[in-house]
Amino acid sequence: MTPFRSATALAAAAVSLSFATPAAAYPVDCAILLCLAGGWPASAECAQARAVFVARITPWPVEPPLQIWNCPMRASTGREPTPMERLFEIDFREDGAREPGPSPALPLELHLIQDRADVDISDPAYDFVRSIHVFQIEYWRRRNRDGDCNTTSNIREGTYGEQGEFSWARSTPARIPSASAFRPGTSCSDYWFRGVFVDWTDYEGTYGFEEVRY
């Protein structure tokens, strides 16, 4: 079983997606959830999902990259699968070909809850959601005419709670992951950095990140 098959099997065991009308487009946050879990496999759905994920951290404003509360989850029975349900079937052999897999459904209807997942995601299997960290970084440093080193640091860190709720808090340069291009050093040389950094680990624990400078 490939990493994405195991990740989507996990998601499918919890939810099977359907939408109010056949004409409704699938919520991109459902795609982000599944593609992130599977390590962003090479598919059109996941390419679009990742583009939205990154666009959301591109100022302005900076938004939560995964908005799990915008992914409605309900049972599907007796109809053609939606585009999102097909994501449950995406799998990749080593040569990159796609293999279909099962798309389970639950006989249970779940309802959207504001600003959090509408199912219980407290299980450690969903730690890939809580692994997402967003850093909005504004940092300036220069030495003035009197020789004093002046530093202005405005950093906030966004994290996901137990049920996928997102919140911002003030942070520090020391909290910024080393994968970021942020490198202020220890001297008082002129330095300027503005950007948004997001990192995560997928369902299998593989690390990933994106950074947008502005």
User: pLDDT tens for residues 135-185?
Assistant: 999 999 999 988 899 999 999 999 999 999 999 999 999 999 999 999 999
Mean pLDDT split into 10-residue runs, the chain, 214 residues: 46 36 58 92 91 94 93 52 47 38 35 70 90 98 91 97 96 97 93 97 96 95
Q: Which two tokens stand for residue 121?
A: 């995601």
Helix (H, G, I), strand (E, B) or coil at 33: helix
Average pLDDT of the chain, as a whole number: 77
User: 26, 19 in Cβ contact below 8 A?
Assistant: yes
50: left (phi over 0), alpha (psi -120 to 50) or beta: alpha
The domain ranges of the chain are 3-115, 129-213
Residue corresponding to tokens 């994968």: 179
Q: How far apart are CA 201 and CA 131, in angstroms?
A: 6
> Structure pTM?
0.74
User: 65, 57 in Cβ contact below 8 A?
Assistant: yes
